[in-house]
Amino acid sequence: MPTIYDVAAACGVAPSTVSRAFSRPGRVNAETAARIRQVAEEMGYRANPLARALPTGKTSLLALVVSDVTNPFYFEIIRGAELAATEADYTLLVADVHESATVERKALERALPLVEGVVLGTSRMSDSAIRVMAQQRPTVVLNRVLTGIPSVITDNARGARRAVEHLASLEHRTIGYLAGPEASWADGMRWRAMREAAEMLDLRVQRFGPFAPTLAGGAEAVPLVVASNVTAVVAYNDLVAIGLMRGLAAADVRVPRDVSVVGFDNIFGAEICSPALTTVAAPLTALGKYAVQTLLAGMSSRTPPQTRPALLPAELIIRDSTARRARRRRS
Amino acid sequence: MPTIYDVAAACGVAPSTVSRAFSRPGRVNAETAARIRQVAEEMGYRANPLARALPTGKTSLLALVVSDVTNPFYFEIIRGAELAATEADYTLLVADVHESATVERKALERALPLVEGVVLGTSRMSDSAIRVMAQQRPTVVLNRVLTGIPSVITDNARGARRAVEHLASLEHRTIGYLAGPEASWADGMRWRAMREAAEMLDLRVQRFGPFAPTLAGGAEAVPLVVASNVTAVVAYNDLVAIGLMRGLAAADVRVPRDVSVVGFDNIFGAEICSPALTTVAAPLTALGKYAVQTLLAGMSSRTPPQTRPALLPAELIIRDSTARRARRRRS
DNA sequence: CAAGTCATGGCAACCGCTTGTCGTCCCGGG
DNA sequence: CCCGGGACGACAAGCGGTTGCCATGACTTG
């Protein structure tokens, strides 16, 4: 690999001039710069990002920490984040932390010195731990609000409201909520919004759980739902909703005839499961994209970043898992 | 951030001694080393990976290039690769190339100087392009064989055979194959193995396509399948299979009663779709893990790496999308 | 007791690029 | 004709480690 020294020698100029020819347009005579660029091109010169990063700290690397890469929830988020990063000439480092705060800490420790900024997707760390690390590198959190730290969230309240309204319009009067992990910020939001919306519409709501945010978690809820008198249930997320539906099918309860089911997030899978899942779609790609853009904006400006959470709209997607309430079938 | 210079000053030794205390155990007196380590610990010293990488080239970074991060096929692969990388104290850089050879080239160009090695998952680049880049960095390819370059593949032949045998045991006599992209190495393998297995069992096979390896691709195949006289079809991958099933359902053709469907890969989604998909399961996590391990092995040994492709076993998972042949219903 | 060996620590060069500072040359104005 | 100032390039000092080589002193060995 040729270096600026090689290029400089070939052009008969000093290395610093070559450096400036690339990074400081105008600082060097236009003709000289053009000549240097051409020679560099011919020699196949590429700046060594490591060497560049050492004195400047500009690695052009951003970290995206996700709690579990195999969770379909993240696919689109990663895609969106990548898009935004690439657009700004950054490379995204995706770190998977396997749902463990310990692994998350380790991964961050490893990645932190390398990256210029961090997006925390559904972090499992404590607020204070996040604050500590936000001091080391610009940070944006996803799906969580943390005063003083920029965050990007979906409008869960609105989504939950839409879901409840939809169910109400189908004449459901008592609906269940399958709660997610206690530590989940989104869970709290969703549940609260549901309760409020239900109250407004004079519906009854009942909370089950908490359950693991997985297919298995949803399956666990089956007996509780069956034993209750809810005619519709809203699940913490799509995975739980799908798990529930599969369990229900196994228990010979029909969706949506016997019970309607609504999920959250609209992950890959919500559409192909059967019946296709009615769900509150989170703007996943936009979430990832916007998080990175927010991060980059915060990095470039000298002023402290905007810390009011950015609220991205959620939308109810009506598919086949919800229907008009029928007489409840008891098993 | 304290540097080795700070630590050295605090200990009253030379910076080089501090460096060696960490990286060259035994080279420095045990007591001195212990003291240095302790002081470093107290000061919160962490080696700057950039500075370390500059002279040594050891970035502890590996790249995994995937054609599309939102494709569920990769989730487990990424997970496996990450696992193996972390285990060896490497960090994985996942690059998404959006199914484009151009983007792939750009991404590689950007990442190459940063990483010590590359795993190419389902590359869209030409053989020669891959060979060129394999000269710059140790490379392992996934799902593709390239003489002279280490590769890790699933035993498609065996999987296809199992699928055909299964279908034969259900008394299907003529089966269809929904082809994937022409450029796909796996597609060729799967089709060939199917043909051979079919011949052995005295079945008739018919090839449709090529189709895009997506849900939409599978949907496209519906009219062809309906118009043909096959009673079972094997799809290039699960996405295509699921797309087909959904299209078939819309066309009022019942799976598996009217036609049996088999997929490939066993991605997330194969289990939750309806009917649950019978599929040839690729050892996805193992694939990613093994690829990284192979890469690391090749990097550390002085001898040229093993280039005979590693064949990981595929297994047929029988679910609900295949059944005994019935009289074929014509629409 | 002289000479050779080994363990240990220090010196300094180097990885490739950035950037503050300085020298030189040229130009115009007083 | 001299001087101030701008444009341009070169010099050199880092960034934070790694590592080859040397100096020193202690210990072994004949």
**If one looks up domain B61-154+285-313 in CATH, what number appears?**
3.40.50.2300
Tokens of A174: 């008592």
Chain A CB within 8 Å of residue B227 CB: no
Closest nucleotide to B57's CA, by C1' atom? C15
Q: What is the band of A122 on the pLDDT scale with cuts at 50, 70, 90?
A: confident
Identify the pLDDT of residue A141: 95
For B154-190, the pLDDT digits (tens) are 999 999 999 999 999 999 999 999 999 888 889 999 9
**How do the domains of chain A map onto residue ranges?**
1-37, 61-154+284-312, 156-282
Residue A331 confidence (pLDDT): 45
B79-98 residues near strand C (Cβ < 7 Å): none
Residue A271, both tokens: 């559409």
- Using an 8 Å CB-CB cutoff, list chain B residues near A61: 114
Burial class (CB in 10 A: 0-12, 13-18, 19+), A120: buried
Q: Which residue is nearest to nucleotide C15 (CA to C1')?
A: B55
Q: What is the mean pLDDT of residues A204-223?
A: 94
Q: Which residues of B touch A91 (CB under 8 A)?
A: 93, 95, 110-111, 114
User: pLDDT at residue A263 above 50?
Assistant: yes
CATH assignment, A1-37: 1.10.260
Please report, as a single letter, which amino acid is at residue A74: Y
CB B15 within 7 Å, strand C: yes
Pick the residue from chain A with its C-alpha nearest to B82.
A96
CATH superfamily, region B156-282: Response regulator (3.40.50.2300)
What is the predicted pLDDT for the residue at B331? 45
Distance CA A78, CA A68 (A): 12
Partner-chain contact A91 B93, CB within 8 Å? yes
Q: Does A113 touch chain B (CB under 8 A)?
A: yes
Question: Strand C within 7 Å of which CB atoms in A 49-78?
Answer: 51-52, 54-56
> Residue B273 gets which letter from DSSP?
B
* Per-window interface: A 12-31 vs B, CB < 8 A: none
Q: Is the pLDDT of residue A330 over 70?
A: no
Residues 6 or more apart from B331 whose CB is under 8 A from it? B226, B251, B252, B253
Residue A97 has pLDDT above 50, yes or no: yes
Give SS3 for B139: strand
The predicted pLDDT at position B152 comes to 95
Bases of chain D below 7 A from a protein C-beta are: 7-12, 14-20
Phi and psi, residue B117, nearest 5°: -165, 165
- Distance from residue B115's CA to nucleotide C21's C1', rounded to whole Å: 36
- Decide: A324 and A172 in contact? Cβ < 8 Å: no
Least confident of A24-38, A213-227, A296-310, B249-263: A296-310
Element (H, E) at A278: strand A278-281
Nearest nucleotide, C1' to the C-alpha of B17?
A: C9
Tell me the average confidence (pLDDT) per consecutive run of 10 residues in chain B, 331 residues long.
94 94 91 94 94 94 92 92 94 90 89 95 88 92 92 94 95 95 89 94 94 94 95 96 95 93 95 93 96 94 80 96 76 45
Per the rule left: phi > 0, alpha: psi between -120 and 50, beta: everything else, A22 is: alpha
**In the prediction, which pLDDT does B327 show?**
61
Q: Mean of the pLDDT values across residues A27-32?
A: 90
Phi–psi pair at A61, nearest 5 degrees? -120, 140
Mean pLDDT computed over A113-130: 91
Q: What would the CATH number be for the domain defined by A61-154+284-312? A: 3.40.50.2300
Task: Pick the more confident residue, A302 or A59.
Answer: A59
Q: What is the mean pLDDT of chain A?
A: 92
Q: Which of A1-5, A323-327, B130-134 has the lowest mean pLDDT?
A: A323-327
The two domains B61-154+285-313 and B156-282 share their CATH topology (first three levels equal): yes
Instruction: Kindly report the nearest CA distance between residue B63 and chain A, in angstroms.
Output: 10
Between the CA of B29 and the C1' of C1, what is the distance in angstroms? 30
Confirm or reject contact between B102 and chain A (CB < 8 A). no
